[in-house]
Structure 1
Amino acid sequence: MKKLILEKLKQIEVEHNVKVLFAVESGSRAWGFPSKDSDFDVRFVYVHEKDWYVSIDQKRDVIEYPINEMLDISGWDVRKALQLFAKSNPALLEWLRSPIVYYDQLTLSEDLRSIGNEILSKKACIYHYLHMARGNYRDYLQHEEVKIKKYFYVLRPLLACMWIETFQEIPPILFDELLKIDGLDELFLTEVMALLERKKQGEELDLEPRKKVLNDFIEDKLTYFENYVKGINESNTMDIEHLNKLFRKTLDQSWAK
Protein backbone atom coordinates (compact mmCIF):
# COMPACT_ATOMS: atom_id res chain seq x y z
CA MET A 1 0.00 0.00 0.00
CA LYS A 2 2.86 2.39 0.73
CA LYS A 3 4.13 1.85 -2.82
CA LEU A 4 0.68 2.72 -4.19
CA ILE A 5 0.53 5.84 -2.02
CA LEU A 6 3.96 7.01 -3.18
CA GLU A 7 2.92 6.44 -6.80
CA LYS A 8 -0.21 8.53 -6.19
CA LEU A 9 1.87 11.34 -4.67
CA LYS A 10 4.13 11.36 -7.73
CA GLN A 11 1.04 11.51 -9.93
CA ILE A 12 -0.22 14.48 -7.94
CA GLU A 13 3.09 16.30 -8.39
CA VAL A 14 2.87 15.88 -12.16
CA GLU A 15 -0.83 16.69 -12.53
CA HIS A 16 -0.68 19.85 -10.40
CA ASN A 17 2.92 20.92 -11.00
CA VAL A 18 3.73 20.88 -7.28
CA LYS A 19 6.28 19.30 -4.98
CA VAL A 20 4.99 17.22 -2.07
CA LEU A 21 6.85 18.19 1.11
CA PHE A 22 5.56 15.51 3.46
CA ALA A 23 2.76 12.96 3.54
CA VAL A 24 1.44 11.04 6.55
CA GLU A 25 -1.38 8.86 7.80
CA SER A 26 -3.98 10.82 9.73
CA GLY A 27 -6.88 8.55 10.65
CA SER A 28 -7.55 5.57 12.86
CA ARG A 29 -4.41 3.82 11.61
CA ALA A 30 -2.28 6.66 12.97
CA TRP A 31 -4.26 6.63 16.22
CA GLY A 32 -3.55 2.93 16.71
CA PHE A 33 -7.02 1.40 16.33
CA PRO A 34 -7.86 0.70 12.66
CA SER A 35 -10.72 -1.55 11.64
CA LYS A 36 -10.35 -4.38 9.14
CA ASP A 37 -12.02 -2.23 6.49
CA SER A 38 -10.35 1.08 7.43
CA ASP A 39 -9.19 3.03 4.41
CA PHE A 40 -5.87 4.88 4.34
CA ASP A 41 -6.29 8.55 5.30
CA VAL A 42 -3.30 10.20 3.65
CA ARG A 43 -2.67 13.89 4.25
CA PHE A 44 0.10 15.92 2.68
CA VAL A 45 1.53 19.43 2.37
CA TYR A 46 2.79 20.61 -1.01
CA VAL A 47 4.41 23.65 -2.60
CA HIS A 48 3.86 25.36 -5.96
CA GLU A 49 6.49 27.13 -8.01
CA LYS A 50 7.28 30.70 -6.93
CA ASP A 51 5.27 32.41 -9.67
CA TRP A 52 2.08 30.70 -8.48
CA TYR A 53 2.21 32.79 -5.32
CA VAL A 54 2.90 36.08 -7.11
CA SER A 55 -0.48 36.88 -8.60
CA ILE A 56 -3.58 38.91 -7.79
CA ASP A 57 -6.14 36.16 -8.34
CA GLN A 58 -7.39 33.80 -5.65
CA LYS A 59 -6.33 30.23 -6.27
CA ARG A 60 -7.43 26.94 -4.79
CA ASP A 61 -5.03 25.93 -2.02
CA VAL A 62 -6.14 22.35 -1.44
CA ILE A 63 -5.83 19.19 -3.52
CA GLU A 64 -8.52 16.58 -2.99
CA TYR A 65 -9.34 13.33 -4.70
CA PRO A 66 -12.56 11.30 -4.55
CA ILE A 67 -12.52 8.83 -1.69
CA ASN A 68 -12.53 5.17 -2.71
CA GLU A 69 -12.76 2.02 -0.60
CA MET A 70 -9.01 2.02 0.01
CA LEU A 71 -7.66 5.55 -0.14
CA ASP A 72 -8.69 8.97 1.15
CA ILE A 73 -6.00 11.43 0.06
CA SER A 74 -5.90 15.21 0.26
CA GLY A 75 -3.40 17.97 0.91
CA TRP A 76 -2.87 21.65 1.72
CA ASP A 77 -0.66 24.18 0.02
CA VAL A 78 2.29 25.15 2.20
CA ARG A 79 1.13 28.76 2.59
CA LYS A 80 -2.28 27.59 3.82
CA ALA A 81 -0.56 25.09 6.13
CA LEU A 82 1.67 27.78 7.65
CA GLN A 83 -1.27 30.12 8.15
CA LEU A 84 -3.13 27.36 9.99
CA PHE A 85 -0.03 26.41 11.96
CA ALA A 86 0.10 29.98 13.30
CA LYS A 87 -3.40 29.35 14.71
CA SER A 88 -2.44 25.97 16.27
CA ASN A 89 -4.67 24.06 13.87
CA PRO A 90 -5.05 20.67 15.62
CA ALA A 91 -5.35 18.67 12.40
CA LEU A 92 -2.02 19.99 11.12
CA LEU A 93 -0.37 19.51 14.51
CA GLU A 94 -1.47 15.87 14.36
CA TRP A 95 -0.13 15.43 10.83
CA LEU A 96 3.24 16.68 12.01
CA ARG A 97 3.31 14.03 14.76
CA SER A 98 1.84 11.09 12.89
CA PRO A 99 3.73 7.86 13.62
CA ILE A 100 3.13 6.75 10.01
CA VAL A 101 5.14 8.86 7.55
CA TYR A 102 4.92 8.00 3.87
CA TYR A 103 7.17 10.73 2.53
CA ASP A 104 9.17 13.64 3.93
CA GLN A 105 11.65 15.90 2.19
CA LEU A 106 13.47 19.10 3.14
CA THR A 107 13.20 20.32 6.73
CA LEU A 108 9.77 21.96 6.96
CA SER A 109 8.10 19.26 9.05
CA GLU A 110 10.97 19.14 11.52
CA ASP A 111 11.15 22.94 11.68
CA LEU A 112 7.46 23.11 12.57
CA ARG A 113 7.62 20.28 15.10
CA SER A 114 10.46 22.07 16.87
CA ILE A 115 8.33 25.16 17.58
CA GLY A 116 4.88 23.59 17.87
CA ASN A 117 4.71 23.65 21.66
CA GLU A 118 6.09 27.19 21.81
CA ILE A 119 3.18 28.60 19.82
CA LEU A 120 0.52 26.16 21.04
CA SER A 121 -2.88 27.73 21.63
CA LYS A 122 -4.26 25.47 24.34
CA LYS A 123 -7.61 27.22 24.06
CA ALA A 124 -7.98 26.60 20.31
CA CYS A 125 -6.97 22.95 20.63
CA ILE A 126 -9.24 22.18 23.56
CA TYR A 127 -12.19 23.83 21.82
CA HIS A 128 -11.46 21.68 18.76
CA TYR A 129 -11.26 18.43 20.72
CA LEU A 130 -14.31 19.31 22.81
CA HIS A 131 -16.37 19.94 19.69
CA MET A 132 -15.27 16.58 18.28
CA ALA A 133 -16.03 14.69 21.48
CA ARG A 134 -19.37 16.39 22.07
CA GLY A 135 -20.59 15.73 18.53
CA ASN A 136 -19.62 12.05 18.50
CA TYR A 137 -21.06 11.50 21.97
CA ARG A 138 -24.35 13.11 21.00
CA ASP A 139 -24.63 11.21 17.71
CA TYR A 140 -23.51 7.72 18.72
CA LEU A 141 -23.46 7.01 22.46
CA GLN A 142 -26.77 8.17 23.91
CA HIS A 143 -28.92 5.05 23.53
CA GLU A 144 -29.12 1.83 25.52
CA GLU A 145 -27.32 0.08 22.67
CA VAL A 146 -24.54 2.03 21.01
CA LYS A 147 -21.94 1.70 18.26
CA ILE A 148 -19.31 0.72 20.73
CA LYS A 149 -16.31 1.53 18.51
CA LYS A 150 -17.42 5.16 18.66
CA TYR A 151 -16.18 5.31 22.26
CA PHE A 152 -12.67 5.71 20.84
CA TYR A 153 -13.76 8.73 18.83
CA VAL A 154 -15.05 10.41 21.97
CA LEU A 155 -12.44 9.26 24.47
CA ARG A 156 -9.47 10.17 22.29
CA PRO A 157 -10.29 13.91 22.04
CA LEU A 158 -11.18 14.07 25.74
CA LEU A 159 -7.89 12.42 26.68
CA ALA A 160 -6.17 14.92 24.39
CA CYS A 161 -7.79 17.73 26.42
CA MET A 162 -6.51 16.12 29.60
CA TRP A 163 -3.01 15.85 28.13
CA ILE A 164 -2.97 19.53 27.19
CA GLU A 165 -4.13 20.52 30.67
CA THR A 166 -1.63 18.22 32.40
CA PHE A 167 1.49 18.73 30.30
CA GLN A 168 0.78 22.05 28.56
CA GLU A 169 1.90 20.55 25.25
CA ILE A 170 0.61 19.01 22.03
CA PRO A 171 -0.88 15.59 22.83
CA PRO A 172 0.51 12.38 21.28
CA ILE A 173 -1.30 10.76 18.38
CA LEU A 174 -1.37 7.14 19.54
CA PHE A 175 -4.33 6.28 21.75
CA ASP A 176 -2.14 4.06 23.94
CA GLU A 177 0.10 7.01 24.80
CA LEU A 178 -2.84 9.11 25.93
CA LEU A 179 -3.74 6.44 28.47
CA LYS A 180 -0.49 7.14 30.34
CA ILE A 181 -1.94 10.24 31.97
CA ASP A 182 -1.68 9.92 35.76
CA GLY A 183 -4.87 9.68 37.77
CA LEU A 184 -7.09 7.76 35.37
CA ASP A 185 -9.49 5.51 37.29
CA GLU A 186 -8.55 1.81 37.29
CA LEU A 187 -12.08 0.68 36.43
CA PHE A 188 -12.13 3.12 33.51
CA LEU A 189 -8.73 1.92 32.28
CA THR A 190 -9.76 -1.74 32.53
CA GLU A 191 -12.86 -1.10 30.43
CA VAL A 192 -10.97 0.92 27.83
CA MET A 193 -8.07 -1.53 27.57
CA ALA A 194 -10.48 -4.43 27.06
CA LEU A 195 -12.16 -2.61 24.16
CA LEU A 196 -8.81 -1.57 22.72
CA GLU A 197 -7.50 -5.12 22.82
CA ARG A 198 -10.60 -6.39 21.03
CA LYS A 199 -10.14 -3.68 18.40
CA LYS A 200 -6.47 -4.49 17.87
CA GLN A 201 -7.32 -8.18 17.49
CA GLY A 202 -9.45 -7.24 14.53
CA GLU A 203 -12.83 -7.74 16.18
CA GLU A 204 -15.49 -5.55 14.61
CA LEU A 205 -17.11 -3.63 17.44
CA ASP A 206 -20.72 -2.83 16.56
CA LEU A 207 -23.90 -2.44 18.59
CA GLU A 208 -23.60 -3.40 22.25
CA PRO A 209 -25.05 -2.16 25.54
CA ARG A 210 -23.42 1.12 26.45
CA LYS A 211 -20.65 1.11 29.04
CA LYS A 212 -21.77 3.07 32.09
CA VAL A 213 -18.26 3.69 33.39
CA LEU A 214 -17.26 5.17 30.03
CA ASN A 215 -20.39 7.29 29.67
CA ASP A 216 -19.91 8.63 33.19
CA PHE A 217 -16.30 9.52 32.40
CA ILE A 218 -17.30 11.25 29.17
CA GLU A 219 -20.07 13.31 30.74
CA ASP A 220 -17.80 14.35 33.61
CA LYS A 221 -14.97 15.44 31.30
CA LEU A 222 -17.27 17.24 28.86
CA THR A 223 -18.67 19.33 31.70
CA TYR A 224 -15.24 19.93 33.21
CA PHE A 225 -13.50 21.06 30.04
CA GLU A 226 -16.41 23.18 28.85
CA ASN A 227 -15.81 25.24 32.00
CA TYR A 228 -12.01 24.90 32.03
CA VAL A 229 -11.47 26.22 28.51
CA LYS A 230 -13.37 29.43 29.24
CA GLY A 231 -10.81 30.33 31.89
CA ILE A 232 -7.74 30.00 29.67
CA ASN A 233 -5.99 33.31 29.11
CA GLU A 234 -3.25 33.23 26.52
CA SER A 235 -0.63 35.78 25.57
CA ASN A 236 1.30 33.58 23.13
CA THR A 237 1.60 35.17 19.71
CA MET A 238 3.23 33.54 16.76
CA ASP A 239 6.21 35.26 15.18
CA ILE A 240 4.77 35.43 11.68
CA GLU A 241 8.07 36.61 10.24
CA HIS A 242 9.63 33.35 11.36
CA LEU A 243 7.01 31.47 9.36
CA ASN A 244 7.56 33.81 6.42
CA LYS A 245 11.23 32.84 6.46
CA LEU A 246 10.31 29.15 6.56
CA PHE A 247 7.98 29.72 3.62
CA ARG A 248 10.65 31.44 1.55
CA LYS A 249 13.24 28.82 2.49
CA THR A 250 10.88 26.04 1.44
CA LEU A 251 10.24 27.72 -1.92
CA ASP A 252 13.96 28.10 -2.56
CA GLN A 253 14.80 24.54 -1.57
CA SER A 254 11.90 22.89 -3.38
CA TRP A 255 12.60 24.35 -6.80
CA ALA A 256 16.38 24.64 -6.64
CA LYS A 257 17.94 23.76 -9.97
Structure 2
Amino acid sequence: MLDALDIDLAPVVAEQPDPLLFATVSGAHLYGFPSRDSDVDLRGVHLLPAAALVGLREPAETRSRMWDRDGVEMDLVTHDLRKFVRLMLRRNGYVLEQLLSPLVVHTTDAHRELSALAPGVVTHHHAHHYRGFANTQWRLFGRTGELKPLLYTFRVLLTGIHLMRTGEVQAHLPTLLGEVPEAPGYLPELIAAKAAREHGDAGVDHARVAADVERLHGVLDEAQAASALPDAPTGYDALHDLVVRIRLER
Protein backbone atom coordinates (compact mmCIF):
# COMPACT_ATOMS: atom_id res chain seq x y z
CA MET A 1 0.00 0.00 0.00
CA LEU A 2 1.19 3.50 -0.80
CA ASP A 3 2.54 5.49 2.12
CA ALA A 4 2.21 9.10 0.98
CA LEU A 5 5.09 10.19 3.18
CA ASP A 6 7.47 7.86 1.32
CA ILE A 7 7.05 10.00 -1.79
CA ASP A 8 9.49 12.88 -2.21
CA LEU A 9 7.10 15.83 -2.14
CA ALA A 10 9.70 18.54 -1.53
CA PRO A 11 9.84 19.40 -5.27
CA VAL A 12 6.07 20.01 -5.23
CA VAL A 13 6.50 22.57 -2.46
CA ALA A 14 9.41 24.23 -4.27
CA GLU A 15 7.40 24.54 -7.51
CA GLN A 16 4.69 26.75 -6.02
CA PRO A 17 4.58 30.36 -7.28
CA ASP A 18 4.14 31.76 -3.76
CA PRO A 19 5.59 30.42 -0.52
CA LEU A 20 3.63 27.73 1.28
CA LEU A 21 3.02 28.15 4.99
CA PHE A 22 2.19 24.46 5.20
CA ALA A 23 1.31 21.43 3.12
CA THR A 24 -0.22 18.27 4.55
CA VAL A 25 -1.69 15.03 3.25
CA SER A 26 -5.47 14.75 3.48
CA GLY A 27 -7.99 12.32 1.99
CA ALA A 28 -7.92 8.57 2.42
CA HIS A 29 -4.34 8.53 3.75
CA LEU A 30 -5.32 10.87 6.57
CA TYR A 31 -8.59 9.02 7.18
CA GLY A 32 -6.81 5.70 7.60
CA PHE A 33 -8.21 3.74 4.67
CA PRO A 34 -6.03 4.31 1.59
CA SER A 35 -5.96 1.67 -1.10
CA ARG A 36 -3.06 0.72 -3.33
CA ASP A 37 -4.30 3.06 -6.07
CA SER A 38 -5.46 5.98 -3.92
CA ASP A 39 -4.34 9.39 -5.10
CA VAL A 40 -2.37 11.71 -2.81
CA ASP A 41 -4.42 14.69 -1.65
CA LEU A 42 -2.15 17.58 -0.72
CA ARG A 43 -3.72 20.56 1.04
CA GLY A 44 -2.15 23.73 2.31
CA VAL A 45 -1.87 27.50 2.53
CA HIS A 46 0.05 29.83 0.26
CA LEU A 47 0.93 33.42 1.07
CA LEU A 48 0.21 36.09 -1.50
CA PRO A 49 2.25 39.30 -1.40
CA ALA A 50 0.37 42.26 0.07
CA ALA A 51 0.44 44.02 -3.30
CA ALA A 52 -1.69 41.24 -4.78
CA LEU A 53 -4.51 42.05 -2.37
CA VAL A 54 -4.64 45.86 -2.58
CA GLY A 55 -4.63 46.38 -6.35
CA LEU A 56 -7.38 46.09 -8.93
CA ARG A 57 -6.65 42.56 -10.14
CA GLU A 58 -8.32 39.66 -8.37
CA PRO A 59 -5.63 37.35 -6.94
CA ALA A 60 -5.69 33.55 -7.07
CA GLU A 61 -6.82 32.95 -3.50
CA THR A 62 -7.38 29.27 -4.27
CA ARG A 63 -5.13 27.19 -6.50
CA SER A 64 -5.74 23.61 -7.55
CA ARG A 65 -3.82 21.19 -9.71
CA MET A 66 -4.06 17.49 -10.54
CA TRP A 67 -1.25 15.59 -12.23
CA ASP A 68 0.62 12.30 -12.34
CA ARG A 69 3.97 12.07 -10.54
CA ASP A 70 5.94 8.85 -10.88
CA GLY A 71 2.76 6.89 -11.48
CA VAL A 72 0.89 8.41 -8.54
CA GLU A 73 -2.05 10.75 -9.07
CA MET A 74 -1.46 14.00 -7.16
CA ASP A 75 -4.20 16.45 -6.16
CA LEU A 76 -2.97 19.78 -4.74
CA VAL A 77 -5.26 22.51 -3.39
CA THR A 78 -4.00 25.57 -1.51
CA HIS A 79 -5.69 28.73 -0.25
CA ASP A 80 -4.19 32.09 0.51
CA LEU A 81 -3.79 32.59 4.26
CA ARG A 82 -6.63 35.10 4.58
CA LYS A 83 -9.12 32.87 2.74
CA PHE A 84 -8.05 29.82 4.72
CA VAL A 85 -8.56 31.61 8.04
CA ARG A 86 -11.97 32.83 6.90
CA LEU A 87 -12.87 29.22 6.11
CA MET A 88 -11.69 28.23 9.59
CA LEU A 89 -14.12 30.75 11.06
CA ARG A 90 -17.05 29.35 9.07
CA ARG A 91 -17.52 26.10 11.01
CA ASN A 92 -15.54 24.24 8.37
CA GLY A 93 -14.21 21.00 9.81
CA TYR A 94 -12.55 20.07 6.53
CA VAL A 95 -9.95 22.85 6.70
CA LEU A 96 -9.28 22.10 10.37
CA GLU A 97 -8.51 18.49 9.44
CA GLN A 98 -6.05 19.74 6.81
CA LEU A 99 -4.40 22.19 9.20
CA LEU A 100 -4.04 19.61 11.98
CA SER A 101 -3.17 16.60 9.82
CA PRO A 102 -0.25 14.67 11.30
CA LEU A 103 0.91 13.84 7.76
CA VAL A 104 3.01 16.99 7.35
CA VAL A 105 4.85 17.56 4.08
CA HIS A 106 5.98 21.12 4.76
CA THR A 107 5.69 23.30 7.86
CA THR A 108 6.71 26.73 9.13
CA ASP A 109 6.42 28.77 12.30
CA ALA A 110 3.23 30.28 10.87
CA HIS A 111 1.76 26.78 10.50
CA ARG A 112 2.50 26.03 14.13
CA GLU A 113 0.98 29.33 15.27
CA LEU A 114 -2.13 28.75 13.18
CA SER A 115 -2.50 25.23 14.58
CA ALA A 116 -2.22 26.56 18.13
CA LEU A 117 -5.11 28.94 17.43
CA ALA A 118 -7.35 26.26 15.89
CA PRO A 119 -9.19 25.42 19.14
CA GLY A 120 -10.45 29.01 19.18
CA VAL A 121 -12.63 28.43 16.12
CA VAL A 122 -14.28 25.16 17.19
CA THR A 123 -17.93 25.49 18.20
CA HIS A 124 -20.81 23.09 18.69
CA HIS A 125 -22.07 24.25 15.29
CA HIS A 126 -19.32 22.20 13.64
CA ALA A 127 -21.73 19.30 14.06
CA HIS A 128 -23.67 20.78 11.12
CA HIS A 129 -20.61 20.42 8.89
CA TYR A 130 -20.18 16.74 9.70
CA ARG A 131 -23.90 16.03 9.51
CA GLY A 132 -24.09 17.60 6.07
CA PHE A 133 -20.95 15.85 4.84
CA ALA A 134 -22.33 12.52 6.03
CA ASN A 135 -25.64 13.10 4.23
CA THR A 136 -23.81 13.89 0.98
CA GLN A 137 -21.70 10.74 1.17
CA TRP A 138 -24.68 8.60 2.18
CA ARG A 139 -26.61 9.77 -0.90
CA LEU A 140 -23.58 8.93 -3.03
CA PHE A 141 -23.46 5.47 -1.50
CA GLY A 142 -27.16 5.08 -2.25
CA ARG A 143 -26.51 5.81 -5.93
CA THR A 144 -23.33 3.76 -6.37
CA GLY A 145 -23.30 1.11 -3.63
CA GLU A 146 -19.53 1.64 -3.42
CA LEU A 147 -17.46 1.13 -0.30
CA LYS A 148 -15.63 4.46 -0.43
CA PRO A 149 -18.62 6.78 0.22
CA LEU A 150 -19.90 4.37 2.88
CA LEU A 151 -16.62 4.61 4.79
CA TYR A 152 -16.64 8.38 4.36
CA THR A 153 -20.15 8.46 5.85
CA PHE A 154 -19.07 6.59 8.95
CA ARG A 155 -15.80 8.51 9.23
CA VAL A 156 -17.39 11.95 9.28
CA LEU A 157 -20.13 10.95 11.70
CA LEU A 158 -17.57 9.54 14.14
CA THR A 159 -15.32 12.60 13.70
CA GLY A 160 -18.25 14.87 14.49
CA ILE A 161 -19.28 12.87 17.55
CA HIS A 162 -15.73 12.84 18.87
CA LEU A 163 -15.33 16.57 18.25
CA MET A 164 -18.53 17.42 20.10
CA ARG A 165 -17.46 15.34 23.09
CA THR A 166 -13.80 16.29 23.33
CA GLY A 167 -13.12 19.39 21.22
CA GLU A 168 -10.46 17.36 19.37
CA VAL A 169 -10.34 17.11 15.59
CA GLN A 170 -9.67 13.44 14.83
CA ALA A 171 -10.04 12.34 11.21
CA HIS A 172 -8.34 8.92 11.41
CA LEU A 173 -11.06 6.27 11.30
CA PRO A 174 -9.08 3.40 12.90
CA THR A 175 -8.30 5.69 15.84
CA LEU A 176 -11.92 6.77 16.10
CA LEU A 177 -13.02 3.16 16.45
CA GLY A 178 -11.27 3.11 19.82
CA GLU A 179 -12.57 6.54 20.84
CA VAL A 180 -16.27 6.33 19.98
CA PRO A 181 -17.93 3.31 21.66
CA GLU A 182 -20.96 3.50 19.36
CA ALA A 183 -18.89 2.72 16.25
CA PRO A 184 -20.19 -0.39 14.43
CA GLY A 185 -18.05 -3.47 15.05
CA TYR A 186 -17.78 -4.40 11.37
CA LEU A 187 -15.90 -1.22 10.34
CA PRO A 188 -12.42 -2.82 10.60
CA GLU A 189 -13.52 -5.34 7.96
CA LEU A 190 -14.67 -2.54 5.67
CA ILE A 191 -11.38 -0.67 6.17
CA ALA A 192 -9.46 -3.82 5.22
CA ALA A 193 -11.63 -4.27 2.13
CA LYS A 194 -11.02 -0.65 1.09
CA ALA A 195 -7.25 -1.23 1.34
CA ALA A 196 -7.57 -3.85 -1.39
CA ARG A 197 -9.50 -1.69 -3.84
CA GLU A 198 -10.31 1.98 -4.35
CA HIS A 199 -13.63 1.35 -6.08
CA GLY A 200 -16.16 -1.42 -6.03
CA ASP A 201 -19.35 -2.60 -4.40
CA ALA A 202 -19.37 -2.39 -0.62
CA GLY A 203 -20.83 -5.87 -0.30
CA VAL A 204 -22.79 -4.98 2.85
CA ASP A 205 -26.27 -5.50 4.22
CA HIS A 206 -27.82 -2.18 3.21
CA ALA A 207 -30.55 -2.34 5.82
CA ARG A 208 -28.00 -2.94 8.55
CA VAL A 209 -25.70 -0.09 7.57
CA ALA A 210 -28.68 2.23 7.07
CA ALA A 211 -29.80 1.51 10.61
CA ASP A 212 -26.30 2.20 11.94
CA VAL A 213 -25.98 5.44 10.01
CA GLU A 214 -29.34 6.62 11.35
CA ARG A 215 -28.28 5.62 14.85
CA LEU A 216 -25.02 7.55 14.61
CA HIS A 217 -26.88 10.63 13.40
CA GLY A 218 -28.84 10.40 16.63
CA VAL A 219 -25.64 10.04 18.63
CA LEU A 220 -24.22 13.12 16.89
CA ASP A 221 -27.39 15.08 17.69
CA GLU A 222 -27.13 14.09 21.36
CA ALA A 223 -23.42 14.88 21.49
CA GLN A 224 -24.05 18.32 20.03
CA ALA A 225 -26.85 19.04 22.48
CA ALA A 226 -24.62 18.04 25.42
CA SER A 227 -21.43 19.64 24.10
CA ALA A 228 -19.51 22.14 26.19
CA LEU A 229 -18.13 23.78 23.04
CA PRO A 230 -18.97 27.49 22.65
CA ASP A 231 -21.65 28.96 20.42
CA ALA A 232 -19.24 31.21 18.51
CA PRO A 233 -15.50 31.28 17.78
CA THR A 234 -13.35 32.83 20.48
CA GLY A 235 -10.18 33.26 18.44
CA TYR A 236 -11.20 35.85 15.83
CA ASP A 237 -8.99 38.68 17.09
CA ALA A 238 -5.93 36.46 17.52
CA LEU A 239 -6.36 35.08 14.00
CA HIS A 240 -6.81 38.57 12.57
CA ASP A 241 -3.59 39.72 14.22
CA LEU A 242 -1.76 36.66 12.92
CA VAL A 243 -2.90 37.20 9.34
CA VAL A 244 -1.87 40.87 9.40
CA ARG A 245 1.53 40.18 10.96
CA ILE A 246 2.44 37.35 8.63
CA ARG A 247 1.30 39.32 5.57
CA LEU A 248 3.34 42.39 6.51
CA GLU A 249 6.39 40.28 7.21
CA ARG A 250 6.30 38.97 3.63
Specify the TM-score bucket, using the shorter chain as the normaliser: 0.7 to 0.9
Alignment of 1:154 onto 2:169: no
Q: Deviations over 1:54-108 (max 9, x none)?
A: 3354333111124556111110001111222222421210011212111112x22
Larger Rg: 1
Residue pair 2:25, 2:103 contacting (<8 A) in 1 also: yes
Q: Which residue of 1 aligns with 2:88?
A: 85
Identical amino acids, percent of aligned pairs: 19
Check conservation: 1:97, 1:173, Cα contact below 8 A: no
Alignment partner, residue 182 of structure 2: 184
Judge conservation of contact 2:161–2:219 (CA < 8 Å) in 1: no
Matched residues in 2 for 1:204 and 1:88: separation?
Answer: 29
- The question of 1:111 aligning with 2:113 is answered yes
Q: 2:191 aligns with which of 182, 185, 196?
A: 196
Q: Deviations over 1:3-23 (max 9, x none)?
A: 65321221223xxxx111100
Residue 236 of structure 1 corresponds to which residue in structure 2? 232
User: For residues 1-257 of structure 1, what are the structure 2 equivalents within 5 Å?
Assistant: 4-13=8-17, 18-68=18-68, 70-105=73-108, 107-123=109-125, 125-141=126-142, 146-167=145-166, 169-184=167-182, 188-189=184-185, 191-200=186-195, 202-203=196-197, 206-207=200-201, 208-210=203-205, 212-223=207-218, 225=220, 234-253=230-249, 255=250
CA-CA distance at 1:231 after TM superposition: 9.1
Is the deviation greater in 50-59 or in 154-163? 50-59
Unaligned 5+ segments in structure 2 are none
RMSD (Å), alpha carbons: 2.8
From the superposition, tell whether residues 82 and 149 of structure 1 become closer, same or farther in structure 2 (CA, over 3 Å): closer
The count of residues paired between Structure 1 and Structure 2 equals 241
Structure 1 unaligned spans of 5+: none
Structure-2 separation of matches of 1:209 and 1:240 = 44
Deviation per CA, 1:16-48: give whole Å up to 9, x if none. xx1111001111011111111111111110112
Instruction: State the secondary structure of the residue aligned to 1:70.
Output: strand
Structure 1 residues 118 and 152 mapped into 2: Cα distance closer, same or farther (>3 Å)? same
Q: If the length of structure 2 is used for normalisation, what is the TM-score? A: 0.83
Distance 1:247 1:170 in 2: 23
